[in-house]
Amino acid sequence: MPARDAPPLQLILDRVYARLRDEVDRGKVADYIPELKHVDPQRLGLSIQMVDGQSFHAGDADTPFSIQSVSKVFTLTLALGKVGDALWRRVGREPSGSAFNSIVQLEYEHGIPRNPLINAGAIVVADVILAGHAPREAIGEIVRFVRFLADDDTITIDPEVARSETATGFRNHALANYMRAFGNLHHDVDKVLGVYFHHCALSLSCRQLARAGAFLANRGRLVGGANSVVSEERARRINALMLTCGHYDGSGDFAFRVGLPGKSGVGGGILAIAPGIASIAVWSPGLNANGNSQLGSRALEMIAREADWSIFSG
Amino acid sequence: MPARDAPPLQLILDRVYARLRDEVDRGKVADYIPELKHVDPQRLGLSIQMVDGQSFHAGDADTPFSIQSVSKVFTLTLALGKVGDALWRRVGREPSGSAFNSIVQLEYEHGIPRNPLINAGAIVVADVILAGHAPREAIGEIVRFVRFLADDDTITIDPEVARSETATGFRNHALANYMRAFGNLHHDVDKVLGVYFHHCALSLSCRQLARAGAFLANRGRLVGGANSVVSEERARRINALMLTCGHYDGSGDFAFRVGLPGKSGVGGGILAIAPGIASIAVWSPGLNANGNSQLGSRALEMIAREADWSIFSG
Amino acid sequence: MPARDAPPLQLILDRVYARLRDEVDRGKVADYIPELKHVDPQRLGLSIQMVDGQSFHAGDADTPFSIQSVSKVFTLTLALGKVGDALWRRVGREPSGSAFNSIVQLEYEHGIPRNPLINAGAIVVADVILAGHAPREAIGEIVRFVRFLADDDTITIDPEVARSETATGFRNHALANYMRAFGNLHHDVDKVLGVYFHHCALSLSCRQLARAGAFLANRGRLVGGANSVVSEERARRINALMLTCGHYDGSGDFAFRVGLPGKSGVGGGILAIAPGIASIAVWSPGLNANGNSQLGSRALEMIAREADWSIFSG
Amino acid sequence: MPARDAPPLQLILDRVYARLRDEVDRGKVADYIPELKHVDPQRLGLSIQMVDGQSFHAGDADTPFSIQSVSKVFTLTLALGKVGDALWRRVGREPSGSAFNSIVQLEYEHGIPRNPLINAGAIVVADVILAGHAPREAIGEIVRFVRFLADDDTITIDPEVARSETATGFRNHALANYMRAFGNLHHDVDKVLGVYFHHCALSLSCRQLARAGAFLANRGRLVGGANSVVSEERARRINALMLTCGHYDGSGDFAFRVGLPGKSGVGGGILAIAPGIASIAVWSPGLNANGNSQLGSRALEMIAREADWSIFSG
């Protein structure tokens, strides 16, 4: 997948930014988390982190935003490091075929969520990370891990967003209680949700997010360092899960249009991976009908096409 | 995705064949199509068709078998050639999250099947190919197209298998009638199913199947020729659909384990694509719980690992 | 449930007719069966057949109409006479909680329909009545049975309606094929549907329908004769099924408002039973959202209230 | 529905008790509420409260048990007294076609439970009764109401059972949070569930329960007093709901076998109504597959048959 005859990446980012910055149809900012609905819908950030260490940016690439479900990629990585393949006894690896917060599947499949990138699955992952510790410790561990990945100790959680979700996240409370009824949560529901809501409230800029996700493009190794975060096989497998499950019930469409593994969040961010080449982070707060960033998806489609990046081509 | 330090491909195939030929746990041969249940469960065929023209084979690579749903990749290609993106008004592009012959989703989504690689979607594709012609003509067109792709005029349909399915395929009759009730079939149900059951009864050997699918590994072009079957973008998109939807409710697991786009059939065949490198066809009649070839899936996992082929790594 | 201090029944029927004849909001005439959509929506017929032999009528009580699913009460009675409680191995006795033609439940419950008064259940009942005979004979037996119940040899099937449904009843074809896939139809799908579509096309006037159903109000015996059609216990049980399942997903509401067992048809007819007192037939072609006669339901609610008939009061 | 030529009621109860007291197949005591699983499965209580004031008893008719969901009949009555038909904007009146604690339907129907006698519906009813008060006051009001109906001030709530459910009722927490997410609970989830779990923990003997429910058999009036609890029409309608929805996904079967409105609880109690004649309370802790008392259902079937009580016969 080398970029043959493609324009320089900075030029691509600048072009994409120029074409989308004034777009009128930007989707709808998430309003079910009170703190999120005040975000400026005009924001648009674009960052590319190459595995060779170079990086490219456009627009609001340095403005932190709530990464929400994009954080599930990092907690999944952490949980796999703790329990390995034993995780798959409690969470599936299949696309859900339904909305990100659907509870129907849990009833039919006896409390086992379809995959770790939908809400129910990520709540099980939070339960794994909690592992008998206090929520505060588990949250601290997640923050340290993301700072380590991004090589940036300024990254923090937005406490207002975490509090806002704790108070209004009734569906997630329903999902957690439902899995607890099936014995698939091992800790107190409020503690597990405490961890979950806090890691969803991580604030990163596109620059930081692209950097934090770069190990997935780099066969599991940190960019610019000798450190291996995960094995190459595990990096592949996380990418596979992002491709099949990373955009809820829009995952097939994202694979079809963009052709790269990606994970979206209702804060409007998306992290995408061009294996062996780069990680890409985009942010635009307005969402489409599936709950994925509308302009972010379009930006990634344009970047992938212009750079000639697709995992489905040779 | 270059094969770095990997063993020669013939050696890989020979090893895989040696390790699986005497495996006891081979899954269960499909019995709902009467003609298929007489197939010898000990058969195992392996073929690799490189985009540079070389090919490698092991085991029963020259024995024709009923490719069943693998044929959906070819009819999808043909239908896209006829109506282009208009197809997506009648079929979705999302994983189904349910069994290959589920009818539940059709009710909830008003007769629009989730994707063209599950039965309901492929029946709509057959309706598109029928396009007002007699079933015999549509079937002839499909056979000619597959012969052209495989560069092999000996490929035929097994009339006994087609007849057997026509007489017993009650679920497919149900799916077709159901979509007709929603106006999403335009032709007579029996005619559409005539086309569908016949293309599922195509008989190809692994050698022929790998050759027929090679255009998907070769940016849309025939191997060893100047002919372009589809545009590079369309080839990518078909690969994306195979990855997210090609193994029914085992698609996520196949992506996770094998890391390549693939399409399975209940005859025990699987076609997989290593973009830019090769197409791979495997055949072993016993199926796992999701209706995919049990040894075929394992063979592909071993081949991909030993050759270091994965779309999720750089 | 004696009619204490209630006005005379003829007066009640005349009042109800007068109040509803010019009602503007009459619902929507069924259009999915082409032959039915030509029926005059202004029609309104009302008949009461007392167990003591008296009868009362108002409006279009002598105009025959297509009784459609009301016929399921008669075929159920016939099938129970043939196979008794063995029927319940192939059909359930629970309300469906979904639309009259839903196929979802069949998938979850492996081809066993929820009750004999939804389409899928009545198709199994038709399969039982067919019992190895030619469809023509089974249809003849049903017609003779309804003529016997109504003591009226002029009752016939409307062949145009039967033909119209045969050509367009794709959902019923889907349901039948689906149950056949589970082995819950024993005969050829087209033959079973031939019987089903024909008995749905029975034409009766309100007068005839009230008379035909009177055995259910009379402890299983014909009105005005010594003949027992079914045992008292079986009559009770058919009434119980009509109450819990007779109005599809509006059964609870009908029980709540009217308080009598009843069975509706998409032709706009409803048969209701006041046990020990009378059977009531009403007809108005416009349907509500659940597919039940809109004015017919209101007429029955008014009749039951004014006559003080309810099975839920002492 | 007069008892013609039926044996005396005390004789019937004694016979039923004698035939069932040593039955081996008694179902399974509910174990998901820890406090309930210690109940002696050999218990069997039977009581009939006639509308004329007489009462008949057999077995453990004076032992209090946890009435659980039978209490939903009383809270429904109370809520209808508070808000009347406005209740039906928040709860449906249709059988659910699924298990008592299913959450699937809530997703498809946007947080509106199917009826007030399944868990989700009764939680909405508890929200209505709460009406801005403290849970303690709402619980007090419910206890006073049941004491008034039973004319017995010794009736209390078992605090251990209430506490046990509060700590382990994860599914009910899930249902409540889910409806809250749709805006169909107006109060704090924990407060509403506090009311719900406490009224489910009401302890009544069969004698007390039959007395408490007798107003439903007596056209809405207390037995032996001039007081009207509800209008005759409302009593009818509550009976209709009990018949169509009172036994979860076994409601159709109960109507078919017993032929009387009834409401069951997982404590093993059932309240049944013979309109105009009597209310009947039975208790045996073992449950059948649908969560209804196994011997209790059989006892009611025998009593109704021997006394010739059925709402489906004249």
Chain D, 254 to 273: residues with Cβ < 8 Å from chain C are 255-256, 259, 261
d(CA A118, CA A100): 5
Percent of chain B with pLDDT over 90: 84
| Residue D314 within any structural domain of the chain | no
Q: What is the pLDDT of residues A150-199, one digit of tens each?
A: 999 999 999 999 999 888 899 999 999 999 999 999 999 999 999 999 99
Please tell me whether residues B39 and B86 are part of one structural domain. no
Domain assignment present for C313:
no
- Rounded to a whole number of angstroms, the distance from the CA of C113 to the nearest CA of chain D is 12
Domain extent for B188:
69-200
Please give the pLDDT value at position A209: 98
By Cβ distance, the residue of D104, D108, D170 closest to A177 is: D170
C196 is catalytic: yes
Does the pLDDT of residue B199 top 70, yes or no? yes
Minimum distance, in Å, between the CA of residue D41 and any CA atom of chain A: 25
How does DSSP classify residue B66? E
Tell me, yes or no, whether A73 lies in a domain. yes
Give me the DSSP letters along D20-84. Answer: HTT-S---EE--SSGGGGGS-TT--EEEEEETTS-EEEEESTTS-EE-GGGHHHHHHHHHHHHHG
In a domain, C86, yes or no: yes
Section B141-157 average pLDDT: 98
> B15 exposed, middle or buried (CB, 10 Å; 0-12, 13-18, 19+)?
middle
Set D248, D258, D282, D284: catalytic member: D248
Whole-angstrom Cα distance, residue C63 to residue C58? 11
| Judgement on whether residues C170 and C195 belong to the same structural domain of the protein | yes
Substitution target in A31, A105, A109, A173 with the highest count of D β-carbons within 10 Å is A173
Interchain pair A174, D174: CB under 8 A: yes
In a domain, C314, yes or no: no
pLDDT tens track for B211-230: 999 999 999 999 987 789 99
Same domain, B14 and B131: no
D266 is catalytic: yes
Residue A26: what residue type?
R
CB contact (8 A) between residue B1 and residue A96? no
Asked if A269 and A147 sit in the same domain, the reply is no
Which of D249, D250, D261 is CA-nearest to residue D300? D261
User: Any residues with CB less than 8 A from the CB of C142 and at least 6 apart, and which?
Assistant: C71, C74, C75, C78, C129, C195, C198, C199, C202
Q: Which residues of B touch A104 (CB under 8 A)?
A: none
Give pLDDT, residue C2: 45
CB pairs under 8 A between A and D: 53
Query: Contact C174/B181, CB-based, under 8 Å?
Result: yes
Here the ipTM equals 0.94
Check pLDDT > 90 for residue A97: no
Q: Please report the beta strands in chain A, taking only residues with DSSP state E, as ranges in sequence order.
A: 28-29, 45-50, 55-59, 65-66, 156-157, 202-204, 262-264, 269-274, 278-283, 286-287
Q: A95, B241: Cβ pair inside 8 Å?
A: no
Among D200, D230, D262, give the residue marking a domain's end: D200
Rg of chain A on CA atoms, in Å: 18
pLDDT band at D232 (very low <50, low <70, confident <90, very high): very high
Does B189 lie in the same domain as B95?
yes
Asked whether residue D103 falls in the same domain as residue D221, the answer is: no
Contacts of D178 in chain A (CB under 8 A): 103, 170-171, 174
Contact yes or no for D181 and A189 at CB 8 A: no
Q: What pLDDT score was predicted for residue D101?
A: 63
pLDDT above 80 (res D97): no
pLDDT for the residue C57: 98
Confidence of residue A99 (pLDDT cuts 50, 70, 90): low
State which H helix or E strand residue C274 sits in. Answer: strand C269-274
Same domain, D285 and D176: no
pLDDT score for A254 = 96
Tell me which of B176, B200, B224 is where a domain ends. Answer: B200
Q: Is D72 tagged catalytic?
A: yes
A184 shares contact with chain D (CB less than 8 Å): no
Nearest-CA residue of chain A relative to D183? A170
> Cβ of B249 under 8 Å from any chain A Cβ?
yes
- In chain D, which residue's Cα lies nearest the Cα of C311? D311
Closest-CA residue of chain B to A279? B314
Residues D156 and D170 in one domain: yes
Residue D1: its pLDDT value, please? 46
The domain that holds D222 is classified in CATH as 3.40.710.10
Task: Give the gap in angstroms from C-alpha C255 to the nearest C-alpha of chain D.
Answer: 6
Of D179, D200, D221, the one marking the end of a domain is D200
Number of compact structural domains in chain A: 2
**pLDDT higher than 90, residue B96:** no
pLDDT of residue A3: 46
Tell me, yes or no, whether C184 and C218 share the same domain: no
State whether residue A279 is helix, strand or coil: strand
pLDDT one digit per residue (tens) for chain C, 314 residues: 444 567 899 999 999 999 999 999 999 998 877 888 889 999 999 999 999 999 999 999 999 999 999 999 999 999 999 999 999 999 999 998 766 567 778 888 889 999 999 999 999 999 999 998 999 999 999 999 999 999 999 999 999 999 998 888 999 999 999 999 999 999 999 999 999 999 999 999 999 999 999 999 999 999 987 789 999 999 999 999 999 999 988 999 999 999 999 999 999 999 999 999 999 999 999 999 888 999 999 999 999 999 999 999 97
Q: Is C58 on the interface with D (CB under 8 A)?
A: no
Among all residues of chain D, which has the CA nearest to that of A181? Answer: D170
Chain B interface includes A218 (CB < 8 A): yes
* Whether residue A2 has pLDDT greater than 50: no
- Would you state the pLDDT for residue D283? 98
Residue D228 has pLDDT above 90, yes or no: yes
| 3-class secondary structure, B65 | strand
Is residue A97 situated within a structural domain? Answer: yes
Q: Is the dihedral of CA D126, D132, D136, D138 positive or negative?
A: negative
CB atoms within 10 A of CB A241: 27
Residue D271 and residue D166 share a domain: no
Query: CB of A108 within 8 Å of any CB in chain D?
Result: yes
The whole-number pLDDT of residue D99 equals 63
pLDDT at A104 over 70: yes
Same structural domain for residues C63 and C210?
Answer: yes
A129, A82 in Cβ contact below 8 A?
yes
Mutate to test the interface with B, among C178, C180, C189, C249 (most CBs of B within 10 A): C178
Instruction: Specify the DSSP class assigned to residue A7.
Output: P
CA distance B98 to chain C (A): 11
Q: Name every chain D residue with its beta carbon within 8 A of the beta carbon of C240.
A: 252, 255-256, 259, 312
Give the mutation candidate from A239, A256, A279, A290 for the B interface (greatest B CB count, under 10 A).
Answer: A256
Looking at the structure, tell me whether residues B121 and B41 fall in a common domain: no
**D-interface mutation test, from A127, A171, A177, most D Cβ less than 10 A away:** A177
Does D142 reside within a domain? Answer: yes
Interface of B with A in 110-139 (CB under 8 A): 114-115
User: Is A156 inside any structural domain?
Assistant: yes
Write the burial class of residue C32 (CB in 10 Å: 0-12 exposed, 13-18 middle, 19+ buried): middle
Specify the higher pLDDT residue, A213 or B5: A213
